[in-house]
Amino acid sequence: MRSTLNRIGPYAVIAGFITLWWASVKISGSPIFPGPLDVIRGSIALAKEGVLLHHIFASIMRVGVGYTLAIALGIPLGVAMGWYPGVYRAINPVIQMLRPISPIAWIPLSILWFGVGNTSPIFLITLSSFFPMVVGTVAGVHAVERQYIRAAENFGITGMRLLRQVVIPAAMAQIVTGMRIGLGIAWLVVVAAEMVAINSGLGYMIIDARNAGNRYDLVVAGMVFIGLIGFLLDFVMRRLERVDEVRWRYVR
């Protein structure tokens, strides 16, 4: 019984949400707010024109580039800060001062520095996902049990070899958690950046649909696809967290 509920529970909640959405539109009689069928018809029309895939791929491309840059910068810096106390003391104050600033607040400066194009949202994505990765990596390195390090040193493993073979694998679970949080923030930021600093992507599609005769069916369609893609990205990261090399410290 419990396994059956676990399987059908998510689908039941989704079906209930769609039913409530449809009923709310019908009861309100709103001529503007679209129902589920309106959103589906609008999505199909965009897909047939090739516009929908164009915007989806544009957003995913920007997130892919910015997120990869954040990994390349944030994880090595986090390892260095976690392993070397001097690096931590020097850099951590700057990280903690910049980290609370909303990525949206950087949009005017990014447009000023990089103009209206792909570089501006990629910069925002890199910046927004960089800080969770740094913090997660530092926390992971600091949490490595000392007995792992002492055991490795007893076998003559020291220096960079100790860092590569012991510290980083032991910290991998929290590193991946930081990557997961960073990816979620990156997907949020690209949509916001596309609303003001670019002429393609799902964020731009939403603003363009609103301005093109109040096509709120396409506005909601854009929101639905943002949610679906965000769910799929998070699903991939959750699968990564289950890899044996990541969760080996936590296997019962």
* 207 contact partners, CB below 8 Å, separation of at least 6: 195
Write the pLDDT tens digit of every residue in 43-54.
888 888 888 899
Task: Give the contacts of 52 (CB within 8 A, at least 6 positions apart).
Answer: 43, 46, 205, 221, 225
Q: For residue 16, is pLDDT > 60?
A: yes
Residue with tokens 């990541």: 246
> What's the DSSP call for residue 167?
I
DSSP state of 105: G
pLDDT digits (tens, 9 = 90+) for 27-42: 887 777 888 888 888 8
Q: Assign residue 215 a region (left: φ > 0; alpha: ψ between -120 and 50; beta: otherwise).
A: beta
Mean pLDDT over residues 199-207, rounded? 86
Q: Given this model, what pLDDT does residue 73 score?
A: 95
As a whole number, the mean pLDDT across the chain is 85
CA–CA gap between residue 122 and residue 113 (Å, rounded):
12
Three-class DSSP category at 63 = helix
Using pLDDT thresholds of 50, 70 and 90, give the confidence band for residue 145.
confident
250 has pLDDT over 60: no
d(CA 170, CA 245): 9
Q: Is the pLDDT assigned to residue 251 strictly greater than 60?
A: no
Written as one letter, the residue type at 16 is G
Q: Tokens 């991946």 appear where?
A: 176
Whether the per-residue pLDDT at 252 is higher than 50: the answer is no
Mean pLDDT of 3-23: 79
Cα–Cα nearest to 119, from 68, 57, 66: 66
Predicted pLDDT of residue 89: 94
Give me 184's structure tokens.
Answer: 């979620």
- Given a cut of 70, whether residue 197 has pLDDT beyond it is no
Residue partners of 237: CB distance under 8 A and separation at least 6: 176, 179, 180, 183
Residue whose structure tokens are 């309100």: 28
Neighbours of 20 (CB within 10 A): 10
Question: How many beta carbons lie within 10 A of that of residue 63, not counting itself?
Answer: 23
- Which of the pair, 211 or 129, is modelled with greater confidence? 129
Residue type, 11: Y
Residue 163's closest CA among 178, 184, 148, 185?
148
Question: Which of these, 186, 200, 180, lies nearest to 63 by C-alpha position?
Answer: 186
Distance CA 237, CA 172 (A): 13
Q: What is the pLDDT of residue 242?
A: 75
For 67, other C-beta atoms within 10 Å of its C-beta total 25
> Average pLDDT for residues 62-89, to the nearest whole number?
93
Average pLDDT, integer, range 188-194: 85
**pLDDT 10s digits, 93-138:** 999 999 999 888 888 888 888 887 888 889 999 999 999 999 999 9
